[in-house]
């Protein structure tokens, strides 16, 4: 049984409410941090824990916190990125919906560490009911004296607001989120400067994912060293995984990092194997932005090592860098799934969500969608597969924000591992048309 530190209390009746959450030991990390620690000591514990960003990039959280300029005299901010929109990812919603005070507690402890007096939770527009849950939790925390002026008589003040987006995926990119919070169109900014130097209203700002911030209370209540003992290597702690697709038990799971993919997929404690009793065909291990793995690379790496649920182990070998654990959106496909159709579906999404600022992304994502559409609909040409390869290679690395890479990687991986399926679509268009899933032309 994996260790649980985020979802251990999720089934306690009434845990959504302040009274029950507090009775179960909630807000202890705020008390400990404010009464017995300095802000720098809190940062040090998070550094020691090895906690890495749970939104997708896996950047060390303590290191990000230590980049904050505390000497400039400018106000500082903590912004929680709750704009969860990566296809296949729904774990932050689960946390916020069922144990909202864990996030509020993490926000207060983390804001104290950063010396932030004004912090925000930016939540995606489609999560309106969760927005209301958070608003209520913030009001309860404030009424109980955990927010506002002079918290616990310490002289530390904190205002916390929850802000609702308007339905744009790009606002999950941290600088687009900041633009949106400032009341502007959510266009990503060029980095550097990173938000830690110049973020919200040009003030030093840390942007962290919901799950990252919700991990902080456990670290402070126990210790950074204790957290670092959970997990494996540089993948410390636990991770929430949103599992979907052709498995018996889809849902949100908290796993200890380092669990084998085989155990996660096949044991009854987790996904329980394939729902269909059909062969496993492919896996997208970390949300739509990360490369698809073919069946022969799911349980073993190309070097023959066991594939593990870690930041390091889930790459398909096609890219030198990048966290392929991504946002933890684990999508499983059996042999009835069409990789071309799936790749087209992802491409359509990225084209729709591109903000349009840079040419390779704005134009390239449109071309990826168009060419994939014609292959999927039996109108593909032999040269289209190389054309797709060429388009994606011209997007990757040539854009302001990672949406461009996110659009190109799934196409590259699909061609790399399933080229024969693209060729089949081109060579046998009449068989493709007969599958009765013709899709509207872009």
Binding site for ligand NAI (CB under 6 A): 53, 55-57, 59, 64, 67, 84-86, 89, 172-174, 194-196, 207, 287, 289, 323, 326-327, 402
Our CB check for ligand SF4 shows the closer of 5 and 290 to be 290
Nearest 5°: phi and psi at 242? Answer: -100, 115
DSSP state of 311: T
Partner that binds at residue 357, options ligand NAI, ligand SF4, none, CB closer than 5 to 8 Å by kind: ligand SF4
Partner that binds at residue 148, options ligand NAI, ligand SF4, none, CB closer than 5 to 8 Å by kind: none
Compute the C-alpha angle 59/238/404, nearest 5°: 35
Does 358 sit near ligand SF4 (CB under 6 A)? yes
Partner that binds at residue 64, options ligand SF4, ligand NAI, none, CB closer than 5 to 8 Å by kind: ligand NAI
Residues 6+ apart with CB under 8 A from 290: 284, 314, 322, 324, 326, 409, 410
How far apart are CB 190 and ligand SF4 at their closest, in Å?
9
Nearest 5°: phi and psi at 381? Answer: -115, 155
Does 357 sit near ligand SF4 (CB under 6 A)? yes
Does 168 sit near ligand SF4 (CB under 6 A)? no
Does 212 sit near ligand SF4 (CB under 6 A)? no
Which residues share a beta bridge with 236? Answer: 231
Place of tokens 């309860």: 140
Buried b (16+ CB within 10 A) or exposed e, 275-302: eeeeebbbbbbbbbbbbbbbeebbbebe
Does 280 sit near ligand SF4 (CB under 6 A)? no
Q: Which of 225, 220, 223 is nearest to 31 (CA)?
A: 220
Partner that binds at residue 174, options ligand SF4, ligand NAI, none, CB closer than 5 to 8 Å by kind: ligand NAI
Does 356 sit near ligand SF4 (CB under 6 A)? yes
Partner that binds at residue 356, options ligand NAI, ligand SF4, none, CB closer than 5 to 8 Å by kind: ligand SF4
Which residues share a beta bridge with 26? Answer: none
- Number of residues written out for the chain: 442
Number of residues that bind ligand SF4 (CB under 6 A): 14
Q: How many CB atoms lie within 10 A of CB 105?
A: 27
Our CB check for ligand NAI shows the closer of 45 and 353 to be 353
Q: Which stretch binds ligand SF4 (CB under 6 A): 116-124, 224-232, 341-349, 398-406?
A: 398-406
Does 403 sit near ligand SF4 (CB under 6 A)? yes
Partner that binds at residue 170, options ligand NAI, ligand SF4, none, CB closer than 5 to 8 Å by kind: ligand SF4
Place of tokens 């996904």: 271
Q: Which helix (H) or strand (E) holds 96?
A: helix 91-98
Does 170 sit near ligand SF4 (CB under 6 A)? yes
Is there a contact between 411 and 343 (Cβ–Cβ < 8 Å)?
Answer: yes
Partner that binds at residue 160, options ligand NAI, ligand SF4, none, CB closer than 5 to 8 Å by kind: none
Alpha carbon distance 259, 306 (integer Å): 10
Cα→Cα distances 8→27, 52, 109, 334, 366, Å? 15, 20, 20, 32, 44
Alpha carbon distance 356, 339 (integer Å): 27
Q: Which of 397, 395, 401 is nearest to 367 (CA)?
A: 395
Does 177 sit near ligand SF4 (CB under 6 A)? no
Residues 6+ apart with CB under 8 A from 38: none
Does 243 sit near ligand SF4 (CB under 6 A)? no
Our CB check for ligand NAI shows the closer of 7 and 371 to be 7
**Which two structure tokens, joined as six digits, stand for 244?**
């979907």
How far apart are CB 125 and ligand NAI at their closest, in Å?
13
Q: Which stretch binds ligand SF4 (CB under 6 A): 236-244, 261-269, 313-321, 395-403?
A: 395-403
**Which two structure tokens, joined as six digits, stand for 156?**
């530390």
Does 368 sit near ligand SF4 (CB under 6 A)? no
Our CB check for ligand NAI shows the closer of 172 and 245 to be 172
Our CB check for ligand NAI shows the closer of 56 and 380 to be 56
Residue ranges that bind ligand SF4, judged by CB under 6 A:
170, 188, 354-358, 361-362, 399-401, 403-404
């Amino acid at each position: 049984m994996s260790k649980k530190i985020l979802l251990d209390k999720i089934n306690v009746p009434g845990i959504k409410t302040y009274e029950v959450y507090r009775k179960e030991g909630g807000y202890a990390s705020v008390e400990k941090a404010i009464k017995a620690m300095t802000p720098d000591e809190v940062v040090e514990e998070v550094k020691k824990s090895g906690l890495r960003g749970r939104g997708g990039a896996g950047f060390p959280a303590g290191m990000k916190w230590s980049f904050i300029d505390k000497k400039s005299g400018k106000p500082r901010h903590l912004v929680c990125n709750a704009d969860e929109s990566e296809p296949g990812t729904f774990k932050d919603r689960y946390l916020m919906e069922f144990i909202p005070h864990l996030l509020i507690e993490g926000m207060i402890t983390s804001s104290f560490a950063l010396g932030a007096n004004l912090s925000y939770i930016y939540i995606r527009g489609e999560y309106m009911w969760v927005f209301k849950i958070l608003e209520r939790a913030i009001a309860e925390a404030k009424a109980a004296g955990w927010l506002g002026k002079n918290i616990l008589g310490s002289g530390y003040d904190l205002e916390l607001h929850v802000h609702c987006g308007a339905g744009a995926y790009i606002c999950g990119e941290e600088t687009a989120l900041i633009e949106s919070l400032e009341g502007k169109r959510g266009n990503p900014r060029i980095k550097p400067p990173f938000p830690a130097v110049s973020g919200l209203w040009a003030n030093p700002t840390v942007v962290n994912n919901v799950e990252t911030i919700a991990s902080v209370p456990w670290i402070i209540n126990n210790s950074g060293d204790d957290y670092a003992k959970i997990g494996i290597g540089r993948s410390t702690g636990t991770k929430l995984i949103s599992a979907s697709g052709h498995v018996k038990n889809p849902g949100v799971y908290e796993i200890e990092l380092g669990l084998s993919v085989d155990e996660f997929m096949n044991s009854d404690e987790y996904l329980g194997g394939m729902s269909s009793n059909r062969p496993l065909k492919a896996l997208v291990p970390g949300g739509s932005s990360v490369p698809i793995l073919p069946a022969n690379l799911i349980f073993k790496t190309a070097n023959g090592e066991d594939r593990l649920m870690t930041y390091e182990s889930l790459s398909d070998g096609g890219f030198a860098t990048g966290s392929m654990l991504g946002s933890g959106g684990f999508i499983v496909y059996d042999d009835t799934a069409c990789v071309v159709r799936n790749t087209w579906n992802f491409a359509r999404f990225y084209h729709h969500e591109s903000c349009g600022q840079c040419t390779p992304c704005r134009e390239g994502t449109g071309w990826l969608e168009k060419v994939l559409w014609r292959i999927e609909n039996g109108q593909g040409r032999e040269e289209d597969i190389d054309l797709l390869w060429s388009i994606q290679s011209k997007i990757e690395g040539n854009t302001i924000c990672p949406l461009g890479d996110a659009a190109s990687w799934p196409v590259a991986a699909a061609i790399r591992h399933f080229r024969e399926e693209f060729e089949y679509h081109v060579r046998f268009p009449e068989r493709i048309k007969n599958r009765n899933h013709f899709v509207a032309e872009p």
